[in-house]
Amino acid sequence: MSNEMANNGMRRRPAPGGFKDIWDIACGVQAIWWREVKRSLTDRGQLVGGVSRPLLWVLILGVGLNPFFRGEVMGDVRFIVPYTYLQYIFPGVIVLNILYTSIQSAVSLIWDREFGFLREVLVSPLPRNFILLGKVLGGATTAVVHGLLVLAVARFANIQMSLPDVGAAMALMFLLAFGMTSLGIVIANYVKGFEGFGVFSNALVLPLYFTSSSVFPLDPALTRAQTLVTYPRWLVALVEANPVTYAVDTLRGILIGFNQFPAILGWQITGGMAVVLFLFAMYEFRRL
């Protein structure tokens, strides 16, 4: 596409208004969303990772450490989590799949930038914010699908769910996926190569996951003073400052009825994180 055509395309971009403009924008967002979903779901590497990752954690770590997840008496405080380790770790494995898939889906931005597709989309009549929305929705949808791959084997972990539980879990998963995909877009805007993006995303996902209380509990029976005595102060600070902690905790409350924090707090923090990260991605996307 020549510079003249690009300039003319930018001048022809209409301001949203009226039913036809809204319909055209919706169709544009839907087209970008479907392109992202189709490309991700046909990527064999992502599908293999989406299946092998939870199997590794659930079958090996969850089953292997299950005998050691027992109550312990220490002074007057009784440390008891009334669930098997497999049940406890299961919501965290769902979140792990969502984190990886959400952030990795943003690599499509680098791909589109390298091969010129992004430039053609940016000069289309569709406003940039809606281009971004389509890409984020596509990545979030794919991440939720990967989360559902784990949720489908909940009976293996002896987790019983009602339809309202499944609906609430999917809603929380989508909020988390939306926020993490937006974060991936921000990373992709700064990282210019595929290799660098992979290294950077892994360096971000693993600390977020391991400091989210997904593999070990902060006992809710303890006061904050007891918690700080039992665990290192720096570890408690990292767990409490990590927004993913509250998403994992709320999902755990939905699936097995165990919460370390107030349930409403997880919805508020996860929803707020999704909005803030999308606004940040919107700011960065305008700079392309």
Residue 269 lies in a domain: yes
Residue 3 lies in a domain: no
Confidence of residue 164 (pLDDT cuts 50, 70, 90): very high
Residue 7 lies in a domain: no
Residue 238 has pLDDT above 60, yes or no: yes
Min mean pLDDT across 7-11, 43-47, 85-89 is at: 7-11
230: left (phi over 0), alpha (psi -120 to 50) or beta: alpha
Residue 1 lies in a domain: no
Of the candidates 277, 211, 288, 280, which has an alpha carbon nearest to the alpha carbon of residue 244? Answer: 211
Q: What integer pLDDT is reported at residue 63 of this predicted model? A: 67
Q: Who has greater pLDDT, 123 or 11?
A: 123
Residue 57 and residue 90: Cα distance in Å, rounded? 9
Q: What integer pLDDT is reported at residue 79 of this predicted model? A: 43
Half-sphere exposure for 117 (CA within 13 Å, toward CB): 10
Q: What integer pLDDT is reported at residue 267 of this predicted model? A: 96
Contact (CB, 8 A) for 156 and 186: no
Q: What integer pLDDT is reported at residue 8 of this predicted model? A: 43
Q: What integer pLDDT is reported at residue 47 of this predicted model? A: 67
Residue 12 lies in a domain: no
Q: What integer pLDDT is reported at residue 121 of this predicted model? A: 81
Residue 77 has pLDDT above 50, yes or no: no
Residue 5 lies in a domain: no
Q: What integer pLDDT is reported at residue 73 of this predicted model? A: 43
Residue 277 has pLDDT above 90, yes or no: yes
* pLDDT tens-digit readout, 10-61: 344 444 555 567 888 888 899 899 988 888 777 766 666 666 677 776 666 7
Min mean pLDDT across 16-25, 129-138, 256-265 is at: 16-25
Residue 13 lies in a domain: no
Residue 2 lies in a domain: no
* pLDDT tens-digit readout, 210-236: 888 888 777 655 556 666 667 788 888
Q: What integer pLDDT is reported at residue 225 of this predicted model? A: 64
Q: What integer pLDDT is reported at residue 75 of this predicted model? A: 47
Contact (CB, 8 A) for 103 and 95: no
Residue 112 has pLDDT above 90, yes or no: no
Mean pLDDT across the stretch 227-256? 87
Contact (CB, 8 A) for 280 and 124: no
Residue 128 and residue 231: Cα distance in Å, rounded? 46
Task: Provide the residue range defining the domain that includes 278.
Answer: 18-285
Q: What integer pLDDT is reported at residue 4 of this predicted model? A: 42
Q: What integer pLDDT is reported at residue 163 of this predicted model? A: 92
Q: Residues 160, 164, 166, 172: is their CA dihedral positive or negative?
A: negative
The domain total for the chain is: 1
Q: Who has greater pLDDT, 109 or 68?
A: 109
